[in-house]
Amino acid sequence: MNNPLLKTDGLPEFESINASHIEPAIDQLLSESRDTVISLLSSTQDYTWDNLLQKLEDMDDQLNKAWSPASHLHSVADNDELRVAYNACLSKLSDYATEMGQNEELFHAYENISNSAAYESLSPAQKKIIKNALRDFRLSGIDLNEKAKNRYKVIQQELSRLQTKFEENLLDATHAWEKHITEEDQLSGLPDSAIALAAQAAKNKDKEGWLFTLDFPSYMPVMQYSDSPELRKEFYKAYVTRASDKCANSDWDNSNIMLEILKLRTEKAKLLGFENYAHYSLATKMAEEPDEVLNFLNDLAERTKAFAQQEFEELKQFANETANETQLDAWDVAYYSEKLRQKKFDISQETLRPYFPVNQVIEGLFAITNKLYNVTIKQREGVQVWHKDVMFFDIFEANGNIRGSFYLDLYARQHKRGGAWMDECIVRKKSSTSIQDPVAYLTCNFTPPIGDKAALLTHDEVTTLFHEFGHGLHHMMTRVDYSGVSGINGVPWDAVELPSQFMENWCWEKEALDLFARHIDTGKVLDDELFGKMTRARTFQAGMQMVRQLEFSLFDFRLHLEFATNESLNIQDLLNEVRQQVAVVNAPEFNRFQHSFSHIFAGGYAAGYYSYKWAEVLSADAFSKFEEKGIFDKATGNEFLTSILEQGGSREPMELFVEFRGRKPSIEPLLRHSGISA
């Protein structure tokens, strides 16, 4: 078979890839990799970077370049055949990773290199790869006896299967629910953009009227603008009970899956000598001890809760005055918040939407990147993609050389995982003849264009695009030549959000917005009055938003910390306890948020969701240097480029931050940006 996944010289041939290619390609590459390792280890005992580790990097790169498009398609163009092939390969890849992580001969080869005289002549990046590898061998159970090693392998396999099943249940439950509306009076309060999107969705399914779904661009406008409390409650209940014991299809219930995941994670951590999974998680992060994380989160909660409570009391009073609402239910919060925002600041996301046609936003993002880092970004036609809406771009240095490239997939659609993310397609690395340029996937779920009109983004969507592009720059602007610590590889999870949250700041600066925020009909930029309203509204309910994120972070961390000593721990009870501590909005009894918390049950954020707040301290403080020097100060932009973006995971993040900022991070800029005084 002529398998496109085995052609790893250029970009993936997405138009040729189908589900039948995936398993044969992975089988072949895994077999070749095993043979390569045996051959390398038997050919010499005098191991060096060049005769062993470089060849292992090259080998892993081939496997990653085949698996990356297959895994990506599972996220953005899922179907039954793809799902079967993907899941079949997951267990094989899990076995292979465990096998390599427990290969004692390979472990000793790394040890030999780290203890050799030649080690001192290696670059900092090469030394960091070896240091990380020795740590990861231990985290893969290299020190375990044979019985324990086998158990570790089973745990890894089962975790891989369960985490994928969690995500698939959530995807299926989300896309199975829809609300078909045929009476126009039920649309009261909804903005024209939401109504047009629902009309287009109905038309696409040959239905009259309007069709709403739980995809965010469809769901959120209902919660913010629908005048019907009954409709808001119906949507809210459908959304917060997805993949739970309360959802329509019991096959999608994630209840038992969550418990099994927690049991297996805890067992794995204890098998490796950790007290619990939280301790295990921190072995690869900036934070060193669970108390450090808990103190950080609890301190932020103490500083913030009174502000959040004050904001919520104001909202309740407003709802009572305007609609005689004596009790504010969870499904009413977004609606009255939007009304209060409009009353206080005379602005809404819909007011701003005409200023953000998608092509202008993209051009503005590229112009800002040019001003900061002296690179030019141009679209490349003729690249194979997985959907007609996907675009491809190259980043050029001033000398005309390509620095990196990326796919941009902006809009929500069926069979696509929700949320927004950046992932690696190709990693920068040095070969014997050249440098392999990095390529990224940037994926969002924005409101799609209606008919032949340009897509208009909300300011929240603009911020999300800048966030993901920040991740992309971290991947693509790296100067590290070794894939193990190139780009985001080897970066501790609680530092990886620094470049992404950092980029969001330019969405709030007039000088930056003037580059692209122009009204679609008049071409006028945001005037000072509208910009003033926007910036005053920036910290609206910032306390409520902060405690919501702290609720997620504390729940995640405590869950993975405490499950080890209490396997009968009730997940719902713990979440309720955390809410009692930090939340100001009461969640109804039927709320099953945890069943859709894929960040921690299916993604990489287990006992690590605190990373968003941790890195936000870093990003706010990093941006404060631009506030001091000028938001487009070329010297400061170059310092951020060389100290943070180019370094990847080759050095410790605190060392890099201090190099850029001249000191350790301060929490004050975050509190200032949030409108919360110290």
- Contact in structure between 557 and 278 (CB atoms under 8 Å): yes
Tally the residues of the chain.
Answer: 678
**Runs of H (alpha helix) within 272-329:** 277-282, 290-323
**Cα 170-174-178 angle, rounded to 5 deg:** 165
Catalytic residue among 167, 468, 497, 504: 468
Task: State yes or no: is 105 an active-site residue.
Answer: no
**Could you tell me if residue 59 is left (phi over 0), alpha (psi between -120 and 50 degrees) or otherwise beta?**
alpha
Element (H, E) at 490: none
Element (H, E) at 393: strand 391-396
Residues 6+ apart with CB under 8 A from 274: 280, 283
**Runs of H (alpha helix) within 353-458:** 358-373
DSSP per position, 24-53: HHHHHHHHHHHHHHHHHHHH-SS--IIIII
CA distance 123 to 144: 31
- Tokens of residue 485, six digits: 């610590």
Cα separation values, 481 from 46, 64, 125, 135, 473, Å:
24, 16, 8, 21, 16
Residues 6+ apart with CB under 8 A from 608: 281, 285, 493, 494, 556, 600
- Contact in structure between 371 and 637 (CB atoms under 8 Å): yes
Q: Would you name the residues annotated as active-site residues?
A: 468
